[in-house]
Amino acid sequence: MYTVHSISSLSGSIQVPGDKSISHRAVMFGSIAKGITEINGFLNGEDCLHTIKVFQQLGVNIERTGETSYKVNGKGLYSLKEPQDVLYVGNSGTTIRLTAGILSGQPFYSVLTGDSSIIRRPMKRVIEPLSMMGAKIDGKENGRFAPLTIRGGHLQGITYESPVASAQVKSAILLAGLYADGKTTVIEPYRSRDHSERLLAQFGAKLEVQDDRVTIFPKPDLEAQLVQIPGDFSSAAYFIAAALIVPNSRIEIKNVGMNETRIGFLEVVKKMNGKVEITDIRSFGQEPVANLIIETSSLTGIEISGEMIPRLIDELPLLAVLATQAEGLTKVTDAKELRVKETDRIKTISVALRNVGVEIEELVDGFVIKGKQKIYGGQISTEGDHRIGMAMAIAGLIAETPIIIHQSEAIHVSYPQFFVDLNRLIK
């Protein structure tokens, strides 16, 4: 449980921890590359620590060399060993789906499962294409859910038109494509985050990226790399929102990942009249980073849908909080993917906001909020969803009475130091 009180201003400078998506991928790609991959700026959140454990169980030597540094001793695409036990991914959708792609290319038997949230999230979206490639892969309820059983082996390249814009589906297929005969192409309705494409290219994979599709060609081996991970934009988003809505605030966030497939929230905030200055744009390997300066702003409502949704999918619960402080209507549609995340995020954020006195209309594929509204405060539960916990903590900073967050430990999944960093900005 954690109690958040309202505050009068935010100031100072912080750095958010490493990007979760890239941290997972650095460990996975390093594990199947040849040589020693050095990772700096790794996110020591529970999800990414599960990825490390899974690849250790698959026989990879992974060593912590500093606070956020690891060495992964990869021995090549075919060096993984049959695990002695079930592979447990905890709460991490990225771990289970991407690892399923890699395991589809391995000539052995493995079982992937996770916590009570993971075993309710849809897995057919990866089982279907990986089966088409030749993997023997199945799951509970006719392949709909984990636990997944995988007997991998020789794969054929496919061209797959994914019904959802999902980086996890795309990445699982591309990783299996490394083990396939011939090329593998994934076509998406909208472009999802492209960290896999960028990092695979850095590891020496042969890829072709077009507007709506990515093609990967099989390769004898990937080469180990030095991976410098930028700060996670999705984590930075909580402080961006906080500085916009808490009076008399001005903060700086350093080394934030600025990959355009990830920063839809920043574009939306700017359209809402949010004052955000982007400085010192540079690169960490294949990924752009920058520093951000954010000031208290008078926000206006916004309507978002379509191609924007995958670029801010994880920030939508936070956008709901922001919308309560924006003048006029905010409407989100085309976001039914929110219903199959750690929780049904349309429902969880609606329940949490109503508990603290906010009116929100739930849509099948989004929500509508009329601003500005007072946030009265009260008790909420994260329902085990880290993003709901952090979004509601930001609401607590401007609530009339404290917001008491139950199951706040869920936040450790992506940001164990969240409250430490937040408290640093409170003067």
Ligand X SMILES: C=C(OP(=O)(O)O)C(=O)O
Interacting residues with ligand X (CB under 6 A): 47, 92-94, 314, 341-342, 387, 414
Residue 339 is assigned to a ligand binding site: no
Q: Quick one: which of 37, 94, 113, 350 contacts ligand S3P (CB under 6 A)?
A: 94
**CB closer to ligand S3P out of 245 and 321:** 321
Looking at 52-60, 167-175, 343-351, 378-386, which segment touches ligand S3P (CB under 6 A)? 167-175
Residue 168 is assigned to a ligand binding site: yes
Looking at 68-76, 160-168, 213-221, 418-426, which segment touches ligand S3P (CB under 6 A)? 160-168
Using CB atoms within 10 Å of the CB of residue 165, give its burial: 0 to 12 exposed, 13 to 18 middle, 19+ buried.
buried
Name the minimum Å distance from CB 165 to ligand S3P.
7
User: How many Cβ atoms are within 10 Å of 226's Cβ, its own excluded?
Assistant: 11
Residue 427 is assigned to a ligand binding site: no
CA dihedral sign, ordered 68, 314, 119, 213: negative
Helix (H, G, I), strand (E, B) or coil at 346: helix
Q: Which does 387 bind (CB under 5 to 8 A by kind): ligand X, ligand S3P, none?
A: ligand X
Based on the shown chain and the rule CB under 6 A, indicate whether residue 167 belongs to the binding site for ligand S3P.
yes
Paired strand residues for 252 = 13, 293
Rounded CA Rg of the chain: 21
67 Cβ partners below 8 Å, 6+ apart? none
Q: Is 19 in the active site?
A: no
Name the minimum Å distance from CB 100 to ligand X.
13
Q: Which does 166 bind (CB under 5 to 8 A by kind): ligand S3P, ligand X, none?
A: ligand S3P
Query: What's the angle, vertex CA 309, arms to CA 15 and CA 125, rounded to 5?
Result: 105
Q: Which does 92 bind (CB under 5 to 8 A by kind): ligand X, ligand S3P, none?
A: ligand X
- Taking CB under 6 A as the criterion, which residues in 257-296 touch ligand S3P? none
Alpha-carbon span 294 to 243, nearest angstrom = 6
Residue found under tokens 């199951």: 407
Q: Which does 414 bind (CB under 5 to 8 A by kind): ligand S3P, ligand X, none?
A: ligand X
How many helices and strands, by DSSP H and E, does the chain display? 14, 27
- Taking CB under 6 A as the criterion, which residues in 193-252 touch ligand S3P? 193
Alpha-carbon span 124 to 17, nearest angstrom = 32
Name the minimum Å distance from CB 132 to ligand X.
23
* Contact status, residue 225 vs residue 32, Cβ threshold 8 Å: no
Residue 219 is assigned to a ligand binding site: no
Q: Quick one: which of 229, 292, 313, 360 contacts ligand S3P (CB under 6 A)?
A: 313
Tokens of 249: 């605030």
**CB closer to ligand S3P out of 95 and 296:** 95
Choosing from 314, 334, 344, 385, the catalytic residue is 314
How many residues bind to ligand S3P according to rule CB under 6 A?
A: 12
Based on the shown chain and the rule CB under 6 A, indicate whether residue 343 belongs to the binding site for ligand S3P.
no
Q: Which does 57 bind (CB under 5 to 8 A by kind): ligand X, ligand S3P, none?
A: none
Based on the shown chain and the rule CB under 6 A, indicate whether residue 350 belongs to the binding site for ligand S3P.
no
* Contact status, residue 188 vs residue 162, Cβ threshold 8 Å: yes
Based on the shown chain and the rule CB under 6 A, indicate whether residue 188 belongs to the binding site for ligand S3P.
no
Looking at 150-158, 162-170, 294-302, 346-354, which segment touches ligand S3P (CB under 6 A)? 162-170
Residue 314 is assigned to a ligand binding site: yes
Which string of DSSP letters, residue by residue, matches 360-415? -EEETTEEEEEE------EEEE-TT-HHHHHHHHHHHTT-SS-EEEETGGGGGGT-
Alpha-carbon span 381 to 352, nearest angstrom = 7
Helix 345-355 and helix 386-396, axial crossing angle in degrees, nearest 10: 30
Alpha-carbon span 222 to 77, nearest angstrom = 7
* Contact status, residue 233 vs residue 258, Cβ threshold 8 Å: yes
Residue 156 is assigned to a ligand binding site: no
Q: Which does 167 bind (CB under 5 to 8 A by kind): ligand X, ligand S3P, none?
A: ligand S3P
Specify the DSSP element, H or E, that contains 13.
strand 11-15
Residue 424 is assigned to a ligand binding site: no
Residue 345 is assigned to a ligand binding site: yes
CA dihedral sign, ordered 335, 340, 346, 349: negative
**CB closer to ligand S3P out of 193 and 370:** 193
Based on the shown chain and the rule CB under 6 A, indicate whether residue 314 belongs to the binding site for ligand S3P.
yes
> Where do contacts with ligand S3P occur on this chain (CB under 6 A)?
21, 93-94, 166-168, 171, 192-193, 313-314, 337
Annotated binding site for phosphoenolpyruvate: 20, 93, 121, 168, 345, 387
Annotated binding site: 20-21, 25, 93, 121, 166, 168, 314, 341, 345, 387
Instruction: Write out the catalytic residue numbers.
Output: 314
Known binding site for 3-phosphoshikimate: residues? 20-21, 25, 166, 168, 314, 341
